[in-house]
Chain A
Amino acid sequence: MATPNNRVSPAGRTAAPQNAQGGFVYLPLIAGWLVPGAGHFLQRKWGRGALLAASILAMFILGLAMQGKLYTNAHEILDLLGLVGDLGNGLLYIVSRAVGAGADQVQVTTADYGTRFIVVAGLLNVISAVDAHNLRTGRKPL
């Protein structure tokens, strides 16, 4: 059964999901993934968005400051998991890769912690983007 969020056009193709607020439903999800906190800013949740952005940015920057490694390939399964976690950082990861930030090899103990900080920052960013999407769809009360 077609729902308002999953309409089927007469031509049989699924239309882009929209809700009562208008606009693209997945915009907060995508914006929140690309820029930490942006999904909540779009919902006018300034305080929550600022706290999320500060936490995720701090974690990512601390990871780089601790000479953490940015995963660049996925030759092994553990590298693949690390790469997926890193990709959760969205533009932070892309820009950091572009400017060559992050260590190539883990050489000191804290660098291992830094690598985990970067991966966990990405995973937390995904959680925050999904939360913004839930606010947008009404699954979580505003």
Chain B
Amino acid sequence: MAPSHFTSVLLFALCASVVFGITMRDTPRRMFRYGLYCFALFVGSAIVLSWVMFLIAR
């Protein structure tokens, strides 16, 4: 079964955030915080851009 578009966004954001967090910071605490930050930005920007495109298309 293929995942929905939003599930795809969540999976993409999760995997990419884990790698960004580990590779871009030095300590476990800072890795976790940066990973969380990246995840929020990925998902947040996807939601905002989706609404922008929805409003433009109307």
Contact = CB atoms under 8 A, between A and B. Distances in A.
Interface of A: 48, 51-52, 54-56, 58-59, 62, 66, 108-110, 113, 116-117, 120-121, 124, 127-128, 130-131, 140-141
Chain B residues touching A, majority SS: helix
Contact of A66 (B2, B15, B19, B22): B2
A55 B2 contact: no
Contacts of B26: 140-141
A52 B18 contact: yes
Contacts of B5: 109, 113
Given A56-B19, A59-B15, 4 more contacts: A55-B14, A59-B11, A62-B11, A66-B3
A58 B5 CA distance: 17
Given A117-B12, A120-B12, A140-B26, A127 B19 contact: yes
Interface of B: 2-3, 5, 8, 11-12, 14-16, 18-20, 22-23, 26
A121 B16 CA distance: 8
Contacts of A140: 26
Nearest to A117: B12
Given A55-B15, A58-B15, A59-B15, A113 B23 contact: no
Nearest to A124: B19
Nearest to B22: A48
